[in-house]
Amino acid sequence: MNFKIKSRIFRISRRLFSFLLVWQTFASAYEVDVVKPGDIISIRLPALEGAAGSDATKILTHDLERSGWFRIVSSGGDYSIQGTASKSSIQCKVLKQDGNSVLSPSGSGNFRQMVHQAADQIIAKLTGKKGAAQTHIAFISDKSGKKELYAMDYDGSSVQRFTTDNSTVVSPGFSRGGNKIAYTSYRSSYPDVYVMGYPTGGRQAVSRYPGLNSGASFSPDGSRLALTLSKDGNPELYTMSAGGGGLKRLTKTSTGESSPTWSPDSAQIAYASDAGGRPQIYIIPSSGGNAKRLISSPAYNTEPDWSAESGLIAYNSSSGGDFAISIINPEGGGGKVVYSDGSCEDPSWAPDGRHLVFSRTLSGHTDLYILDTVTKEAIQLTRNFGNCTQPTWSGR
């Protein structure tokens, strides 16, 4: 073997050794347990101390169990949590079975949000997965007699009303950053698209073209909207600046397109169209080009939502009866039903890529539910709050 080859092999080996040394140091400093869907971590959570310890314990228990990764136990367990909480702060320690500390989660500020913050820190450390405890859900309710925009914490608490248009508000869509909501309002007697700051309020009309302006969906970076406009005839798919202007038409059909949702990398947009005779899910490049039909089935398939975390698309599916919640991998494979009790519509992904919020109609009344797509367990969020529909989950 000549000197040049030996020298090259030595350099490669040295780089590999250096990489492994750095990785070993990183893994030691940021040790994360490897978990997969279906895994359960047992964790002991005695009542936290302090003036707000009891309330904080209840919220923390709820957050960890709802994540799907944890089971709270009274003794033993893979980990245990100790700590104290007041109305303005929480300080905890997460200990292994041998008593060694692996994490010191904390939070401050709004009481519920600071506990949610500690929960997400625990979830991230012990599973390596994103938590959803600090997120929010916006939705439409007719509690006031009109369809208005509301929002709440992911667990159904702290409900706030955000519009008083006294008309009809529909199709809310959170930005991935969680600081804006796009929606359609008929407050001017016409369906126009507005963007509202969250949670501060304050709104701007961004699309007021003649005809329908609806279904606005933020791009992952929040700079653009995909939406449906009928200004040129039948409802077509467009993109535009999130602040208004920069309009680009993507489809040109004789039928109708609706419910756009962006791919995680912004390169594509999934949407519903009845171009094939009945509503189905299609994908089109966000820069324009040829559309591709994603699903080929006799069912009606509508309301797609593309997960930024898992890359899967959730949607409504109906074969002539009630709607069910289905999921498909856009990279290949057929769609599958994941929940079908009652009429289930409007799925929206949590940022953890595991949970969905959706509307479910039973006996003529509609409420919101959260679905764990791994366990298939559905938990009811809203009760006695009018008919609640069209939920959208904030990115964080």
pLDDT in the model for residue 26 = 34
Amino acid (one-letter) located at 102: V
pLDDT in the model for residue 34 = 63
pLDDT in the model for residue 41 = 97
Burial class (CB in 10 A: 0-12, 13-18, 19+), 302: buried
pLDDT in the model for residue 334 = 86
Domains and CATH numbers, the chain: 41-127 (3.30.160.150), 136-393 (2.120.10.30)
* DSSP states of 102-126: EE--EEESSHHHHHHHHHHHHHHHH
| Regions of the chain short of the pLDDT cut 70 | 1-34
pLDDT digits (tens, 9 = 90+) for 240-263: 999 999 999 999 999 999 999 999
Residue 360 near residue 390 (C-beta atoms within 8 A) = no
pLDDT in the model for residue 84 = 97
CA-CA distances (angstroms) from residue 175 to 72, 126, 142, 181, 392?
33, 28, 23, 6, 10
Residue 42 near residue 71 (C-beta atoms within 8 A) = yes
pLDDT in the model for residue 80 = 98
Question: pTM score, two decimals?
Answer: 0.90
pLDDT in the model for residue 9 = 35
pLDDT in the model for residue 14 = 40
